[in-house]
Amino acid sequence: SQKIEQNSEALNIQEGKTATLTCNYTNYSPAYLQWYRQDPGRGPVFLLLIRENEKEKRKERLKVTFDTTLKQSLFHITASQPADSATYLCALYYSSASKIIFGSGTRLSIRP
Amino acid sequence: NAGVTQTPKFQVLKTGQSMTLQCAQDMNHEYMSWYRQDPGMGLRLIHYSVGAGITDQGEVPNGYNVSRSTTEDFPLRLLSAAPSQTSVYFCASGNRASTDTQYFGPGTRLTVL
């Protein structure tokens, strides 16, 4: 079965630095890869989507890369702020089954 | 728009009891799904639906039933609750699973004693 791995440990970053989160997957490459943000006690909120034929996508301070050879996506937050502290989840969409599978998430803390 | 709504917010059940978690969306989305979230395990897909009358199993379907009689509603039924089903349950919807934003409800926290 498909396996998705994210940084298992929490990530602690100094404010103003770039935070980089990793999402690795096994077996088949997905058609699309999505990143979500989740705050405690709330449902995930969609951030970005990248297609398998795209190398990079940007949205304001966020950047996502997708390397189907390495089977990896990187999620970057530049000029990080304490308000960016949250859990970030990657999710993979498999067109053959029309379903979205999530990783376990990485908890990010930005200290002032 | 209310978005995706879930009821109840909290529920405590005894082992063997059955119940239905409600999910509704008012955005006319075709795609709806149910996930459970346990500490350290992320979101795991239980069941999903690509349209009214169509449902399919996700990663962890055992012990749960779903139906999709209307576009708006996608209830999740626990047939005989077990302590292993203690979790936070999230419902999500989107125009399509693939390229569209998936909107999540606020979640239902279920405890099975």
B contacts of A95 (beta carbons < 8 Å): 98
What's the rounded mean pLDDT across residues A41-53? Answer: 91
Q: Chain A within 8 Å of B35 (Cβ-Cβ)?
A: yes
C-beta of residue B31 within 8 angstroms of C-beta of residue B96: yes
The identity of residue A27, as a single letter, is: N
Q: For residue A5, what are its two tokens? A: 């791995």
pLDDT at A4: 87
How many beta-carbon contacts under 8 Å exist across A and B? 65
B contacts of A104 (beta carbons < 8 Å): 40-42
Across the interface, of B44, B48, B104, the residue whose CB is closest to A43 is B104
pLDDT band at A68 (very low <50, low <70, confident <90, very high): confident
Of all residues in chain A, what percent carry a pLDDT higher than 70?
Answer: 98
pLDDT at B43: 92
User: Is the alpha carbon torsion for B37, A71, A92, A2 positive or negative?
Assistant: negative
Across the interface, of B45, B101, B104, the residue whose CB is closest to A101 is B45
pLDDT band at B38 (very low <50, low <70, confident <90, very high): very high
Taking the C-alpha atoms of residue B43 and residue B55, their distance in angstroms, rounded to an integer, is 19
pLDDT at B100: 73
B contacts of A1 (beta carbons < 8 Å): 59
Residue of A nearest to B37 (CA): A104
Q: How far is B83 from chain A (nearest CA, A)?
A: 21
The reply to whether residue A43 touches residue B92, judged by beta carbons under 8 angstroms, is yes
What's the rounded mean pLDDT across residues A37-42? Answer: 94
Taking the C-alpha atoms of residue A82 and residue A14, their distance in angstroms, rounded to an integer, is 9
Which of A49-53, B56-60, B99-103: highest mean pLDDT?
B56-60
Across the interface, of B4, B41, B56, the residue whose CB is closest to A104 is B41
pLDDT digits (tens, 9 = 90+) for B59-103: 999 999 999 999 999 999 999 999 999 999 999 999 876 667 889
CB atoms within 10 A of CB A88: 24
